[in-house]
Structure 1
């Protein structure tokens, strides 16, 4: 079965019985191999080029960089730049190869056999699969499309127990772009103190700085409470996933030391070249983010217009931040067979979307990335979705 035919495979895949990996198979891996002309599956802003990066101030002496080992905690220059953005001391930062490595290290080090983790879904697949891969019992809290994917504190409270060691959420969420408020985080911490006093709260903030136009960027939750660990990277808002540079903010000295040792035993250190480039990018981030935020605002307006024009066939949850959102094929316009045809027809129209099934949602939902394509290509891509919907619903056996 090729990747085009697997669009609707779930988090574990429809043929999970044949899969023998420690980590569940997820078809989101196809995004690394397929890039169609109308790629609305990616959740990043437009890719930054090496030329754009080299034009930033601070790289004048890059030729003198020695390509030896870095430190397991991460270079101090990079950790200082991250700390400035998160408003915490630099010593609380541990750099990782993207947020993805941070997810794994946290799951591997925080949880042991018999422990539980509470996870808000739908979610970025490695958020769930890293936990499953290390053998943790995952208690999922399913957030609903109908409720705008808002955090359900009652559901979370019901899943918490003395065995809970990790509570994992994202803000803004992937795939919906919905943010969690400070008040909700504070209420969640109170629940954790009462029901799961040994648990830490992980907040994935990968999309935090991908705001729209002049909209204020929500502050990091990193310094709010010592039980909070946050994750971030230069991948999404800054458009540099190829640098593979992310981080965790960890206030607890013991946990931070354990994570550094875990990193040393898995990847030793990050690439000193990647870290040097990421440092310069973070120091110049507002020059990079400002035009991208304007583009995201314009793209979101374009998407909102399309969703309104197609309101008889689709519904959506408007995102708070990030270059992504969730769109759903309406049940009164698409039966199950039409949904299946919709996914089958996408490649014929050079279209790429991220199935909701990858994130723990229904395949009737798809993640639509509106920041990756140049703005002039977004409208034709959305029009192509309309054409596919026409074909999917006009089929006659």
Structure 2
């Protein structure tokens, strides 16, 4: 998957008026969270992560305890640890696509065999359990899914999640569920995946739903003590421990989880409604409505004037709007990821109108 030279960071945020490429809610500040960092001792912290933070995370899943949780450098760090600890050249991975790049590129770099199960627009981007089951081989060590899904925002049902856990158990492999957007599930969150069995691994972070990607706090949850020790050993080789400042901030956030999430969820539901109304009136686009997260993945009904390359250039150079083109996710550029959680309300709605204008040429 490409690393874009013209990513928002490289192009320059100041040159993008309407940034609809981001996949999180708006970035928060220390003061907006009502925090004042105390005089912490800047020591090597607990390698697993602070016990208070791990207890707050474990409390969200039935039957989980703090020792089932390992704090990592964001969800990206968690996914890297899992792939490098579980997969080798003689192993096989079944992974859904489109997906977050780390879930695809790290296994490719390792050299393991990989079968991608492509989610189809025509099927509502739903996970096909039969296709996953057919792809499993005796060498399969891991089935990897995301829910809510990035870039589509689609969620699997609880029955589908339990079906995936049962499939992994029957076939003797592990199930990895990237739950980074779980706290932004519009109609209620699914059970925390790792609570469904010791062969199920959950990954999440505070970056997307809480607007604090800068503190780099993510985690791995598994009820398998031996596997948790493997993950801990991998973390110790990569970073030893996390930042005591970051972990302190994370603990304060999770202690105040409901107060932070409730207004965020209300606003994201409202914005999803704005996108739905816009697409209903935009004859050049179609979509699958998201059930969680802050992204969706519209599809152009036909090539725009000059083709998709001209569309993306017009959108950015003429209208100052930036979205994530389909090739970021190994999909055709007639798709694009639209993030509706990060910009201000005014920028968000102006960005939608910019897309409509760019589609017309």
Q: Equivalents in 1 of 2:152, 2:23: separation in Å? A: 10
**Does residue 223 of structure 2 align to residue 223 of structure 1?**
no
Structure 1 residues 136-175: aligned runs within 5 Å: 136-175=112-151
Q: Distance in 2 between matches of 1:156 and 1:103?
A: 20
Structure 1 residue aligned with 2:25: 45
Partner Cα separation in structure 2 for residue 129 and residue 90 of structure 1: 30
Misfit runs of 4+, over 4 Å: none
Per-residue deviation, residues 114-153 of structure 1 (Å, max 9, x unmatched)? 1011100100111111211222222111110111110011
| Structure 1 residue 380, shift from structure 2 partner | 1.0
Contact 2:158 2:191 in 1 (8 A): no
Would the aligned equivalents of 2:90 and 2:113 in 1 still touch at CA under 8 Å? yes
Q: Give the Cα separation in 2 of the matches to 1:31 and 1:84.
A: 36
Q: Give the whole-Å Cα distance in 1 for the aligned partners of 2:6 and 2:146.
A: 20
Name stretches of at least 5 consecutive residues in structure 1 with no aligned partner.
1-10, 14-25, 392-397
Match of 1:329 in 2: 300
1:319 and 2:290 matched: yes
Give the structure 2 partner of residue 30 of structure 1: 7
Aligned residues: 356
Q: CA deviation at 1:27?
A: 2.4
Q: Deviations over 1:226-264 (max 9, x none)?
A: 111000100011111111000010111111001001000
SS of residue matched to 1:119:
strand
Within 5 Å, which residues of 2 pair with 1:1-397?
11=1, 13=2, 26-27=3-4, 30-33=7-10, 34-35=12-13, 36-53=16-33, 55-56=34-35, 62-87=37-62, 88-194=64-170, 196-197=171-172, 199-212=173-186, 215-310=187-282, 312-331=283-302, 334=304, 337-348=306-317, 349-391=319-361
In structure 2, relative to structure 1, the CA distance for the partners of 1:29 and 1:270 (3 Å cut) is: farther
CA RMSD between the two structures: 1.6
Unaligned stretches of 5+ residues in structure 2 = none
Q: How far has the Cα of 1:29 moved from its partner? A: 8.4
Q: TM-score if structure 2 supplies the norm length? A: 0.95
CA contact (8 A) 2:165 2:196 kept: no
For 1:209, what is the secondary structure of its paired residue? helix
Deviations along 1:20-76, one digit per CA (max 9) or x if unpaired, are xxxxxx3298244343220000010111111112x15xx5xx423101111221111
